[in-house]
């Protein structure tokens, strides 16, 4: 597969359009002085007003336009700020160089009553790159994102992210403000038509989350895209209303509707479906129901990989009110209110087949289950943000969440030894219901001013309260085929009431150095004193009773019935010191920054319980430290590099539930015991981060990549000693091992190449994880050495807006090796090949298809999933009919294979099967008085 | 602007001999363009002797002393001295002095003066005022340091000196032993509200003061310091004086001040009347005003007059522009729009903000990269060998273009 990908990449990269083309050169001058005009815009249009190409004149007023079509007559438009434009029709001679000089005179084009600046496609205004949509002739329903794909230096990646000269756009604003309460680009760029946009600006903005940070680095700025709407389009609405019905009674309905004006916006969204499509998150719903067609999200469809057959519904709204009129992002005074109600009715059948390691005899476990569940969730949220500059920040956030779940499940487990002899079975039936509510409130305030350092402070406070009440009836029948006397049978009722309250706060005082040392500079080392505190109170009441079949009544289980209250007070003062070094010149800038923190962790825990040994009061003190080095290097207009190395040490203590576990043996395969002698554990953590991106606007290539690595060594880690009892039961005992290790690496590399208005991009991401986890299995000490590798490639070729081809390959590998002899080792490999295509032809039609092939060890047959879609837009592109053919080959099976240090598991569940769905969508759209068509003034001949 | 009017009228009355100030019509975003040869005359290039470890960049500044070309490279905190023929004389590193030091050339004493905050201390604007108000207190003298290089001494070594009240008060020399305090700031730390933007001294005595303002709560100086700028004029006895937020350019002869020119700009570039009367509530509000009105006028800084042109730089609230004004045609050109032509082998000597004038000549420091980017051979006109060598990457020398403005 890799060789195929490489060959296709080479093939596409070498694509050159051979055609009948010619060349045009010329000189643009001032008509009075005859002096050449630099940066005059020379644009060639086709007869249908479509822009062929454009260039800015050089310092001497010269221009050269190449690869011009010779077949048609063309319009040459030469314009310059403050001058009357020069327009002439011409026909280019094949294989020759034609010349067209122009002498412009000062004044305005009265005929159009517009200044000629309107057609300059891209220009730098100070530090801001400005894109003028009017200069790009595109189809009437083109959205901002489609426009961006045509701009030099801008790459819209296949995952929806946008980079400009290699840097990721992290913040999107519309008229200087968040759009629809979100900073994700998709809602704006995939909905707003280019005809509604005055200009798109790109610039670096200070990252407000870094307020109070003592040393500012290049990483403290974020690339921001600001879409400036035309004055008449500052009020409008857009959305998508979809209804569909298909075979097997599959149905889907979605609503996404957003309305906005200069100071307010309201978004309403919701949906209902039985195709496992996730609609619970309102922002995701908005992001996935956008107007764009040229590269539709082919993954936002019925999810064949999901477990079970689920019916989902949701309805919600988000309202944003701006209290100030200014259109910059420094000054904010905004409240956002949101509400969302979502729910799922799930029906899942599953069969799990596990090959599990045990001393000398790997066990074979078969789990069969069936589960019905319903869940409903209500979420209310309020966000308030007020800022008056980049140096202050006030945010208040409140959330209330209400949940209600009901679940009915049956599970039958069989355990066999390596010879296939049945050891035990467990039959569990559970009916449960749970109600919970969670309330949270957070407050953040930050202020920094170098002119008044004594007042530099950052405060963050948050409080939360959770409570839940649940009831559960469980019958569990365990039968041992090896020790008859160990059979158990329970019919148990659980009633739990839990509540948890938490208050956490951090106060960073940046004025500490000034307060302590006055004007003394301390060799340029910055000092900050911070305080972190947390108070946590948990109350759990558990009433457990067993059904006595003789008296036909529930009898309280005194061993399991308990009440516990835990209060934990934590306080950590910490002192941080930072020293930075900078160097810059014409071509480069670099900085290195050293940061060290020392913490004193003070903790006091009070436990009150109905179980005597759990009445435990403890206190701890840990002195710990952290250090980091940041290095950034930027070569102007070439590339930039950022690296960070961080070391951290911390301490953890065993929880009361690990020390004095309340042992419930209703699940015969997970019977847990505590260990009051557990030691505190020490973690040493080292992390490395690096990213690299090119930023050469002249290059056809855009490259970025990052590497993130973590290493953790734990001394005295808490681990399990697992005893597989002769009866077939499995017991877990907490214990300490000497040390454990974990290393992981995540990396990605992306490269894109512009091919005229087409684009080729390769995205790669991968991860590796290696861990050494000590544990005991049947009394035998072993180190599980686990190695997992994950690699994903995606290659996408976009031929203008006509054709988008995707090809992807995912590769996962897991290996687990036990160091103790007699214990089994495991490995598992799976690969998925993904193919996708979208064709936007003929006009108003879109045809797309995806094809996935999955191979997995342990699963003999390849899993194939072929989906295809046909879409037609009509009623002035505001209505759409779509036919979805899902699992055309009818060969998809919900089988997955996984592995961990216990063993490998093959899971088979019910899920979606082949279906065909016909959906009708309507896109209500209006952007002020702007129609969806190109303005007549843009057709200049 | 109203605040400018009263003193302006008074001054006019006091100087009946002087006519009404000449108008300079400035469109800050002027699209006007011209060939460089229309303005520039007698261009010659002085090649600075290349030296290992010396790479002159576009942000380096040029100063002309009596005997040297002085190139200040702040990014590396060093000064390169060349003789007037371009021969390398010495590199003086001031890295060890601290970040706050920047060399200032004092033509009166022919010294290079490094004056700044002691690197062992961090001073806020409030601290600076407190120290200034009580500078004679020995405890306060540790906060500033001063070093000098005697440019008449062949050793050219940095020597420690003692900061004086003159240094703390930003004293700048005028002609004929007059000097002035250039800083204008408002603060509650001042006990006396009567302040003057321009205070002229001679022999340690205050001889005249102009432009009164409220030193405690003047709205325009509450969150922003202002500085009076003085530039030499064609007359050695007279200098140009410019003030923050005032569109008039004054001339000063001895201690007598009179308006010489007035910059006339479109309304959109003018500060509203409320700017001068209503104080901003806080610094954030001031910063937002500044950034939201980035093309509003602030001050003329460099101002050079030649018979046919004015060369000047203008600071706006959040922008900066450099212009050449054609007196005859009454057109202002943005320097960035002026095109180099064949007379200078297409090397632009007017772009950028690094042009200094001395004794009637203009001097522009050109980096080797700037020459390579713009140089084009001209048929029938051999380019200077040194310039060709730079263009062909055989030499990495920087060049000073010396020219006059056409009459």
Alpha helices by DSSP H, listed for B256-338, are 274-277, 283-292
pLDDT at A933 over 60: no
Helices (H) and strands (E) in chain A, counts: 6, 48
pLDDT band at A651 (very low <50, low <70, confident <90, very high): very high
Nearest-CA distance B57 → chain A (Å): 6
List CB contacts (< 8 A) between B28 and chain A.
Answer: none
pLDDT digits (tens, 9 = 90+) for A464-489: 999 999 999 999 999 999 988 889 99
CA A825, CA B142: separation in Å to the nearest integer? 72
Using a CB–CB cutoff of 8 Å, tell me whether A32 touches chain B: no
pLDDT at A699 over 80: yes
Are the beta carbons of A59 and B374 separated by less than 8 Å?
Answer: yes
Q: Which of A30, A519, A521 is the closest to B33 by Cβ?
A: A30
Alpha carbon distances (Å) from A371 to A408, A429, A853:
6, 10, 29
CATH number of the domain to which B353 belongs: 2.120.10
Alpha carbon A485 to chain centroid distance?
53
Per-residue pLDDT of chain B (407 residues; tens, 9 = 90+): 445 444 444 444 444 444 678 899 998 988 888 889 999 999 999 999 999 888 898 889 999 999 999 999 998 899 999 999 999 999 999 999 988 899 999 888 899 999 999 999 999 999 999 998 998 899 998 999 999 999 999 999 999 999 988 888 888 888 888 888 888 999 999 999 999 999 999 988 899 999 999 999 999 999 988 999 999 888 888 999 999 999 999 999 988 999 999 999 988 899 999 999 999 998 888 988 988 888 999 999 999 999 999 999 999 998 899 999 999 988 899 998 898 989 999 999 998 778 999 988 999 999 999 999 889 999 888 999 999 999 999 999 999 999 999 98
By CB atoms closer than 10 A (0-12, 13-18, 19+), residue B235 is exposed
Cβ(A63)–Cβ(A42) below 8 Å: yes
Nearest-CA distance A704 → chain B (Å): 28
Cβ(A71)–Cβ(A93) below 8 Å: no
CA A630, CA A652: separation in Å to the nearest integer? 27
Using a CB–CB cutoff of 8 Å, tell me whether B31 touches chain A: yes
List CB contacts (< 8 A) between B349 and chain A.
Answer: none
Are the beta carbons of A586 and B59 separated by less than 8 Å?
Answer: yes
Alpha carbon distances (Å) from B107 to B65, B74, B157:
7, 21, 18
Question: Comparing C-alpha atoms, which of B82, B96, B19, B75 is closest to residue B51?
Answer: B82
Domain residue spans of chain A: 1-110, 121-231
Question: Comparing C-alpha atoms, which of A428, A425, A408 is closest to residue A416?
Answer: A425
For residue A398, the cross-strand partners are A382, A441
Q: How many CB pairs under 8 A join A and B?
A: 87
Q: Which residue of B has its CA nearest to A448?
A: B284
pLDDT digits (tens, 9 = 90+) for A800-816: 889 999 999 999 999 99
Q: Which of A30, A449, A585 is the closest to B57 by Cβ?
A: A585
User: For residue B145, what are the domain limits?
Assistant: 2-405
Q: Which of B35, B57, B121 is the closest to A519 by Cβ?
A: B121
pLDDT digits (tens, 9 = 90+) for A329-375: 888 999 999 999 999 999 999 999 998 888 767 889 999 999 999 99
Cβ(A207)–Cβ(A213) below 8 Å: no
pLDDT digits (tens, 9 = 90+) for A846-904: 999 999 999 988 788 889 999 999 999 999 899 999 999 999 999 898 898 888 878 88
pLDDT digits (tens, 9 = 90+) for B16-48: 444 678 899 998 988 888 889 999 999 999 999
List CB contacts (< 8 A) between B75 and chain A.
Answer: 583-586
Question: Comparing C-alpha atoms, which of B369, B399, B367 is closest to residue B386?
Answer: B399
Question: What pLDDT is recorded for position A921?
Answer: 96
Question: Comparing C-alpha atoms, which of B158, B178, B183 is closest to residue B168?
Answer: B183
CA A186, CA A283: separation in Å to the nearest integer? 10
Kind of pairing between the strands at A845-856 and A925-927: unpaired
CA A394, CA A387: separation in Å to the nearest integer? 6
B127 contact partners, CB below 8 Å, separation of at least 6? A519, B143
Residue A541: its H or E element: strand A526-548
The residue with tokens 């009263």 is: B6
Q: Report which of residues A111 and A351 the model is more confident about.
A: A351
pLDDT band at A749 (very low <50, low <70, confident <90, very high): very high
For residue A493, the cross-strand partners are A473, A545
Task: Count Cβ neighbours within 10 Å for each residue of A62-100 and write b for 16 or more, e otherwise.
Answer: bbebeebbbeeebbbbbbbbbbbbbbeeeebeeeeebeb
CATH 2.70.210.12 matches A1-110:
no
Question: What pLDDT is recorded for position A32?
Answer: 65
Q: What is the count of structural domains for chain B?
A: 1
Q: How many CA atoms lie within 13 A of A53 on its CB side?
A: 15
Q: How many CA atoms lie within 13 A of A449 on its CB side?
A: 17
pLDDT band at A796 (very low <50, low <70, confident <90, very high): very high
Q: What is the DSSP string of A634-698?
A: EETTTEEEEEEEEEEEEEE---HHHHS-----SSTT-EEE--TTPPPEEEEEEEEEEEEEE--TT
pLDDT digits (tens, 9 = 90+) for A19-50: 467 888 898 887 766 677 777 778 887 765 55
Mean pLDDT of chain A: 88
CATH 3.90.1170.50 matches A121-231:
no
List CB contacts (< 8 A) between A30 and chain B.
Answer: 33
Are the beta carbons of A519 and B284 separated by less than 8 Å?
Answer: no
Using a CB–CB cutoff of 8 Å, tell me whether A360 touches chain B: no
Are the beta carbons of B124 and A453 separated by less than 8 Å?
Answer: yes
Question: What pLDDT is recorded for position B345?
Answer: 92
Cβ(B241)–Cβ(B252) below 8 Å: yes
Cβ(B355)–Cβ(B36) below 8 Å: no
Using a CB–CB cutoff of 8 Å, tell me whether A698 touches chain B: no
pLDDT at A715 over 80: yes
In this structure, what DSSP letter does residue A928 have?
Answer: T
Q: A624 — phi, psi (to 5°)?
A: -140, 170
pLDDT band at A217 (very low <50, low <70, confident <90, very high): low
CA A827, CA A787: separation in Å to the nearest integer? 9
pLDDT at A937 over 50: no
Question: What pLDDT is recorded for position B77?
Answer: 92
**Strand, helix or coil for residue A17:** coil
Q: Which of A35, A106, A583 is the closest to B34 by Cβ?
A: A35
């Amino acid at each position: 597969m890799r060789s195929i990908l490489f060959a296709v990449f080479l093939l596409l990269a070498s694509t050159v359009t051979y055609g009948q083309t010619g060349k045009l050169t010329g000189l643009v001058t001032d008509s009075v002085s005859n002096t050449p005009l630099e940066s005059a815009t020379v644009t060639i249009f086709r007869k249908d007003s479509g822009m062929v190409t454009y260039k800015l004149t050089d310092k001497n007023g010269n221009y050269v336009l190449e690869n011009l079509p010779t077949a048609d007559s063309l319009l040459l438009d030469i314009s310059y700020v403050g001058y009357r434009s020069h327009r002439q029709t011409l026909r280019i001679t094949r294989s020759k160089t034609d010349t067209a000089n122009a002498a412009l005179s000062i004044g305005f084009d009265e005929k159009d009553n517009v200044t000629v600046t309107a057609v300059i496609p891209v220009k730098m205004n100070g530090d801001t790159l400005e894109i003028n949509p009017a200069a790009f002739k595109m189809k009437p329903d083109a959205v901002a994102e489609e426009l961006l794909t045509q701009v030099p230096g801008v790459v819209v990646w296949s995952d929806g992210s946008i980079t400009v000269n290699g840097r990721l756009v992290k913040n999107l604003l519309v008229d200087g403000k968040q759009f629809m309460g979100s900073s994700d680009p998709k809602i704006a760029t995939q909905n707003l038509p280019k005809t509604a946009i005055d200009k798109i600006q790109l610039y670096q903005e200070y990252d407000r989350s870094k307020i109070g940070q003592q040393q500012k680095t290049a990483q403290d700025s974020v690339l921001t895209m600001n879409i400036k709407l035309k004055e008449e389009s500052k009020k409008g609405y857009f959305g998508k209303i979809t209804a569909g019905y298909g075979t097997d009674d599959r149905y889907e309905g979605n609503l996404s509707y957003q309305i906005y004006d200069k100071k307010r916006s309201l978004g309403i969204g919701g949906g209902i479906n039985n195709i496992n499509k996730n609609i619970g998150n309102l922002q995701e719903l908005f992001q996935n129901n956008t107007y764009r067609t040229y590269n539709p999200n082919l993954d936002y469809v019925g999810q064949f990989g999901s477990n079970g057959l689920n019916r989902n519904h949701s309805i919600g709204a988000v309202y944003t009110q701006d209290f100030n009129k200014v259109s910059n992002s420094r000054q904010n005074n905004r409240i956002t209110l949101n509400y969302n109600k979502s729910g799922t009715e799930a029906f899942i059948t599953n069969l799990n087949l596990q090959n599990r390691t045990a001393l000398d005899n790997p066990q074979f476990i078969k789990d069969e289950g069936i589960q019905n569940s319903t869940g409903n969730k209500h979420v209310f949220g309020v966000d308030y943000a007020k800022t008056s500059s980049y140096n202050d920040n006030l945010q208040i956030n409140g959330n209330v969440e209400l949940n209600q779940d009901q679940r009915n499940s049956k599970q039958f487990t069989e355990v066999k030894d390596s010879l296939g002899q049945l050891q035990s079975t467990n039959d569990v039936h559970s009916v449960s219901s749970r109600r919970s509510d969670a309330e949270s409130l957070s407050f953040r305030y930050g202020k920094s001013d170098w002119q008044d350092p004594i007042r530099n402070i950052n405060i963050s406070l948050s409080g939360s309260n959770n409570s839940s009440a649940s009831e559960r009836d469980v019958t569990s029948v365990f039968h041992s085929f090896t020790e008859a006397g160990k059979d158990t049978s329970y019919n148990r009722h659980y009633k739990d009431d839990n509540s948890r309250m938490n208050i956490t706060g951090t106060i960073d005082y940046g004025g500490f150095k000034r307060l302590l040392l006055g004007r003394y500079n301390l060799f340029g080392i910055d000092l900050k004193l911070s305080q972190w505190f947390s108070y946590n109170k948990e109350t759990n009441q558990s009433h457990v009773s067993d059904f006595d079949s003789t008296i036909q009544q529930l009898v309280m289980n005194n061993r399991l019935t308990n009440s516990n209250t835990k209060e934990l007070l934590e306080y950590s003062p910490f002192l941080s010191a930072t020293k930075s070094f900078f160097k810059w010149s014409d071509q480069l800038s670099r900085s290195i920054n050293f940061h060290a923190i020392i913490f004193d962790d003070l903790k006091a825990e009070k436990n009150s319980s109905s179980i005597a040994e759990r009445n435990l009061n403890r206190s701890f003190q840990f002195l710990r430290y952290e250090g980091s080095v940041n290095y950034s290097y930027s070569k102007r207009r070439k590339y930039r590099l950022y690296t960070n190395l961080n070391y951290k040490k911390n301490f953890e203590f065993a929880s009361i539930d690990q020390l004095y576990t309340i042992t419930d043996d209703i699940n015969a395969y997970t019977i847990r015991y505590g260990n009051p002698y557990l030691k505190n554990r020490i973690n040493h953590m080292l992390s490395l981060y690096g990213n690299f991106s090119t930023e050469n606007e002249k290059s056809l290539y855009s490259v970025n990549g990052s590497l993130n690595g973590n290493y953790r060594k734990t001394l005295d880690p808490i681990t399990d000693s697992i005893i597989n009892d002769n009866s077939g039961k499995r017991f877990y005992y907490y214990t300490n091992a000497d040390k454990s290790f974990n290393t992981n690496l995540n990396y990605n590399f992306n490269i894109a190449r512009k091919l005229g208005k087409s684009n080729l991009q390769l995205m790669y991401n991968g991860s590796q994880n290696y861990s050494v986890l000590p544990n005991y299995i049947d009394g035998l000490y072993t180190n599980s050495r686990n190695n997992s590798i994950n690699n994903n490639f995606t290659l996408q070729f976009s031929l203008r807006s006509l054709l988008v081809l995707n090809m992807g390959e995912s590769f996962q590998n897991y290996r687990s090796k036990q160091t103790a002899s007699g214990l089994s080792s495991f490995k598992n490999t799976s690969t998925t090949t993904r193919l996708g295509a979208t064709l936007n032809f003929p006009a108003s039609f879109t045809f797309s298809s995806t094809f996935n092939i999955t191979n997995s060890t342990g699963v003999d047959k390849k899993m194939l999933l072929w989906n295809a879609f046909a879409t037609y837009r009509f009623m002035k592109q505001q209505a759409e009919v779509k036919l979805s053919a899902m699992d055309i080959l009818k060969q998809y099976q919900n089988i997955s294979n996984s592995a961990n240090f216990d063993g490998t598991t093959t899971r088979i569940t019910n899920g979606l099967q082949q279906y065909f769905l016909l959906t009708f969508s309507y896109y209500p759209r209006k952007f002020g008085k702007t129609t969806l068509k190109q303005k007549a003034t843009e057709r200049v001949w | 602007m109203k605040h400018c009017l009263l003193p302006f009228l008074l001054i006019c009355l006091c100087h009946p001999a002087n006519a009404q100030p000449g108008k300079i019509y400035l469109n800050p975003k002027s699209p006007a363009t011209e060939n460089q040869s229309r303005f520039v005359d007698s261009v010659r290039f002085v090649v600075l002797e290349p030296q290992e470890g010396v790479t002159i960049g576009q942000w380096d500044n040029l100063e002309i002393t009596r005997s040297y070309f002085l190139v200040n490279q702040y990014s590396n905190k060093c000064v390169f001295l060349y003789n007037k023929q371009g021969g390398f004389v010495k590199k003086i590193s001031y890295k060890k002095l601290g970040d706050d030091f920047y060399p200032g050339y004092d033509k009166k004493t022919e010294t290079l003066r490094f004056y700044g905050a002691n690197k062992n201390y961090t001073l806020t604007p409030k601290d600076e005022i407190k120290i200034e108000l009580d500078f004679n207190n020995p405890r306060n003298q540790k906060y500033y340091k001063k070093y000098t290089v005697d440019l008449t001494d062949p050793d050219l070594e940095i020597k420690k000196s003692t900061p004086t009240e003159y240094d703390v008060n930003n004293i700048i020399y005028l002609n004929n032993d007059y000097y002035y305090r250039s800083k204008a700031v408002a603060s509650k730390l001042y006990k006396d509200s009567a302040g003057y933007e321009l205070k002229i001294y001679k022999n340690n005595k205050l001889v005249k003061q102009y432009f009164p303002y409220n030193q405690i709560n003047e709205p325009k100086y509450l969150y922003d310091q202002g500085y009076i700028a003085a530039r030499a004029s064609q007359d050695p006895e007279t200098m140009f004086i410019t003030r923050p937020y005032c569109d008039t350019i004054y001339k000063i002869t001895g201690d007598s001040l009179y308006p010489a020119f007035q910059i006339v700009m479109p309304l959109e570039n003018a500060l509203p009347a409320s700017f001068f009367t209503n104080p901003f509530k806080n610094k954030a509000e001031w910063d937002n005003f500044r950034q939201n009105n980035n093309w509003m006028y602030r001050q003329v800084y460099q101002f050079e007059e030649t018979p046919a042109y004015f060369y000047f730089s203008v600071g706006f609230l959040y922008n900066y522009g450099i212009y050449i004004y054609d007196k005859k045609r009454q057109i202002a050109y943005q320097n960035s729009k002026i095109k180099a032509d064949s007379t200078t082998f297409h090397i632009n000597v007017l772009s950028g903000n690094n042009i200094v004038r001395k004794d009637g000549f203009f001097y522009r420091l050109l980096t080797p990269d700037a020459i390579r980017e713009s140089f084009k051979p001209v048929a029938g006109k051999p380019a200077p060998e040194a310039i060709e060598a730079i263009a062909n990457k055989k030499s990495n020398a920087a060049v000073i273009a010396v020219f006059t403005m056409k009459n």
